[in-house]
């Protein structure tokens, strides 16, 4: 089993995964965003029938041949292209490089640890409403959440003093913030917050009362194999108030479970 | 009732509004330029969702719209929001306008209502080669493509594919150009950013608009490589209604389904050998240009589709 880890330059989780796999004698290689950006050669070819072949030669001489990748664990979300000094050129280059990378990942679909989605590289994946819709559809409880452009709709939410950027997180809950002296988001007040990490629909620690079946359903709906659920205790029951689709700070136990999942052929 | 989002004077939305009026289909217009005068509520209470829009003093439950047409422009470029332009509405109202439009986009992505098209699904066009890999699954051919930052790779590809064109990889609009000797000095910059090259095909352009399970095909006759810019080069473009073979219509419908774009503009190219290639699928087509030149009533098909909503599925 060969594992290719594609990650941002400072992704601690990716380095831990790489280290663990090597320790377990798995043939793993780690390739950073910087190395991909400055590769000596990108050759991404698509035939008229849609067959894709990518060969990337890195500056250190390593070759990434898409046809020879067994498992790819991708953590890269964007390409900042900082070597373009002009901001307009940099923005254009970032769009182009990201578009190329998106196509490269699509070509790896069958070997990617997590399935590819159109929102893969966009802000849309952090859509709290979609997360809530999926959670409720899967039978998981969610914290109350309210958005309004008119404070009259929620007279019980008090006005807060603005911060300089026009926003201020309220102490009443992590999803409450004040925009332009108008409350636009509010949620239940809660104190007891925990996070649980999911790998392949399995909860790595305590379930906090959430059903395993519902978590599995939720994982399928959001098409993720590795993520964190953020829970808060409200009325003596844990409910979801957020999801982190790209966990970074996880325990060594989670790293181990994740690595076992990545390197197990039947899982990929 | 249907919801039409965008700028009402912009031709595709304008035609949709007129078609809804003509067909007596009740329609609510979300004018992006007046978004700061609207109000919106989205909430989850006791695991139940509720959303409503307040426009011109009337309240609309979001779940009651059978279908939504999304023809939104980037709100950052609205004259009401971009500071220091003639229509700037001030910081407070601009923030409200941005907030409501952001949340509307997020609602569109999450709702079960019938949307043409969901912002999330429109993202497939952010990477043309990504999108073409999906299009190929529908049975349409795609132009042989090479994306590279390496001159030697390009030269080798050029030897086998002869004439090439180049264009952007992402959704950033670029004028398609022939790779000829004029660009030789610029190729030294290829090492800094990979570029997309495609085999230049000989034949004619056909634009197919898919609206649900209906198709409207238009043949485009133009002397220039990128007909969208023929006026820039002082050339004319002639648009005529085209009949396509059944299997090509089927492939276009399948592309629309695979990309989850019930309204789309498919750029086809037919070679003298009668082979059909697809360049890309536009997720927010300016269909009005084709409707106004051929008389195909795409707008009516669109509003009827929205009125049927999820019954289309």
A231 within 8 A of A135, measured Cβ to Cβ = no
Q: Which chain B residue shows the shortest CA-CA distance from A142?
A: B47
pLDDT band per the 50, 70, 90 thresholds, residue A53:
very high
pLDDT band per the 50, 70, 90 thresholds, residue A119:
low
Structure tokens at A215: 């978590």
Distance to chain B for A191, nearest Cα, Å: 19
Q: Which residue among B41, B136, B148 places its CB closest to the CB of A153?
A: B41
Rg over CA atoms, chain B: 21
pLDDT exceeds 90 at position A146 = no
Query: CB within 8 A of B59, min separation 6: which ones?
Result: B52, B53
What is the 8-class DSSP label of residue B112?
-
Residue the block writes with tokens 């599995």? A216
Question: What is the dihedral sign for C-alpha A14, A19, A21, A27?
Answer: positive
Is A136 an 8 Å CB contact of chain B? yes
pLDDT exceeds 50 at position A104 = yes
Residues of B in contact with A184 (CB under 8 A): 99
* Among candidate residues B292, B282, B297, the one with its CA nearest the CA of residue B116: B282
Residues of B in contact with A133 (CB under 8 A): 49, 110-111
Q: What is the pLDDT along chain B (313 residues), one digit of tens a residue?
A: 999 999 999 999 999 999 999 999 999 999 999 999 998 889 899 999 999 999 998 999 999 999 999 999 999 889 888 877 778 888 778 888 888 998 899 899 889 899 999 998 999 999 999 999 999 999 999 999 999 999 999 999 999 988 999 999 998 887 888 888 788 888 888 999 999 999 999 999 999 999 999 999 999 998 766 666 666 667 778 999 999 999 999 999 999 999 999 999 999 999 999 999 999 999 999 999 999 999 999 999 999 999 999 876 6
**pLDDT by residue (tens digit) across A191-234?**
788 999 999 978 877 888 999 999 999 999 998 999 999 998 88
Residue the block writes with tokens 């790209």? A246
Report the alpha-carbon angle A248-A243-A213, nearest 5: 110
pLDDT band per the 50, 70, 90 thresholds, residue A160:
very low
Is A267 an 8 Å CB contact of chain B? no
Q: Rounded to an integer, what distance in angstroms lies between the CA atom of residue B311 and that of residue B313? A: 5
Please tell me the pTM assigned to this model: 0.90
Rounded alpha-carbon distances, angstroms, from residue A186 to A154, B59, B85:
9, 21, 34
Structure tokens at B161: 């594919």
Instruction: Verify whether the Cβ–Cβ distance B133 to A122 is below 8 Å.
Output: no
Q: Which residue among A42, A84, A184 places its CB closest to the CB of B149?
A: A42
pLDDT of residue A161: 34
pLDDT band per the 50, 70, 90 thresholds, residue A189:
low
- A58 φ, ψ (degrees, to nearest 5): -85, 165
Q: Rounded to an integer, what distance in angstroms lies between the CA atom of residue A182 and that of residue A189? A: 18
pLDDT band per the 50, 70, 90 thresholds, residue A126:
confident
Burial of A9 (0-12, 13-18, 19+ CB in 10 A): exposed
pLDDT exceeds 80 at position A123 = no
Distance to chain A for B107, nearest Cα, Å: 7
Q: What count of other Cβ atoms lies within 10 Å of the Cβ of residue B275?
A: 13
Q: What is the DSSP string of A86-144?
A: SHHHHHHHHHHHHHHHHHHHHHTGGGBSS---TTTTSGGGG-HHHHHHHHHHTT--B--
């Amino acid at each position: 089993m060969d594992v290719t880890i594609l990650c941002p330059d400072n992704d601690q989780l990716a380095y831990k995964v790489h280290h663990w796999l090597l320790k377990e004698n798995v043939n793993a290689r780690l390739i950073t965003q910087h190395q991909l950006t400055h590769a000596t050669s990108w050759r991404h070819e698509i035939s008229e029938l849609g067959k894709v072949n990518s060969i990337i030669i890195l500056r250190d001489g390593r070759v990434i041949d898409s046809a020879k990748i067994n498992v790819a664990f991708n953590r890269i979300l964007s390409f900042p292209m900082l070597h373009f000094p002009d901001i307009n050129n940099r923005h254009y280059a970032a769009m182009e490089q990201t578009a190329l990378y998106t196509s490269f990942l699509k070509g790896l679909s069958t070997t990617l640890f997590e399935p590819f989605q159109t929102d893969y590289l966009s802000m849309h994946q952090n859509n709290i409403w979609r997360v809530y819709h999926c959670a409720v559809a899967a039978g998981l409880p969610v914290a109350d959440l309210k958005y309004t452009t008119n404070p009259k709709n929620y007279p019980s939410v008090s006005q807060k003093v603005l911060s300089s950027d026009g926003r201020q997180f309220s102490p009443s809950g992590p999803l409450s913030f004040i925009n332009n002296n108008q409350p636009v988001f509010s949620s239940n007040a809660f104190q007891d917050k925990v996070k649980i990490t999911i790998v392949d629909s399995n909860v790595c620690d305590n379930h906090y009362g959430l059903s395993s079946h519902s978590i599995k359903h939720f994982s399928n709906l959001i098409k993720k194999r590795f993520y964190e659920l953020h829970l808060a205790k409200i009325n003596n029951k844990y409910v979801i108030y957020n999801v982190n689709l790209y966990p970074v700070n996880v325990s060594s136990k989670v790293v181990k479970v994740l690595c076992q999942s990545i390197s197990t052929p039947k899982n990929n | 009732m249907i919801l039409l989002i965008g700028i009402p004077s912009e031709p595709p939305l304008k035609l949709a509004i007129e078609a809804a009026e003509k067909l007596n289909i009740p329609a609510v217009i979300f004018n992006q330029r007046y978004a700061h005068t609207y109000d919106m509520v989205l909430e989850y209470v006791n695991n139940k969702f509720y959303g409503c829009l307040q426009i011109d003093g009337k309240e609309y439950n979001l779940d009651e719209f059978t279908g939504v047409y999304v023809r939104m422009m980037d709100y950052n470029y609205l004259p009401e929001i971009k500071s220091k332009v003639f229509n700037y509405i001030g910081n407070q109202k601009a923030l409200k306008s941005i907030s409501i439009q952001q949340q509307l986009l997020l609602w569109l992505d999450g709702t079960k209502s019938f949307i043409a098209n969901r912002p999330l699904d429109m993202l497939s066009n952010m990477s043309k080669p990504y999108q073409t890999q999906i299009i190929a699954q529908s049975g349409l051919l795609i132009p042989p493509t090479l994306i590279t930052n390496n001159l030697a790779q390009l030269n080798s590809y050029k030897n086998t594919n002869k004439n090439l064109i180049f264009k952007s990889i992402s959704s950033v609009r670029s004028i398609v150009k022939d790779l000829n000797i004029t660009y030789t000095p610029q190729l030294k910059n290829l090492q800094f950013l990979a570029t997309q090259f495609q085999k230049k095909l000989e034949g004619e352009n056909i634009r197919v608009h898919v609206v649900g399970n209906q198709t409207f095909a238009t043949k485009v006759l133009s002397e220039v490589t990128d007909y969208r810019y023929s006026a820039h080069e002082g050339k004319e473009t002639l648009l005529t209604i085209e009949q396509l073979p059944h299997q090509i219509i089927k492939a276009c419908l399948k592309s629309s389904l695979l990309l989850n774009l019930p309204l789309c503009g498919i750029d086809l190219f037919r070679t003298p050998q009668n082979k059909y290639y697809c360049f890309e699928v536009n997720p927010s087509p300016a269909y009005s240009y084709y409707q106004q030149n051929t008389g195909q009533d795409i707008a009516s098909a669109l509003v009827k589709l929205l009125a049927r909503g999820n019954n289309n599925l």
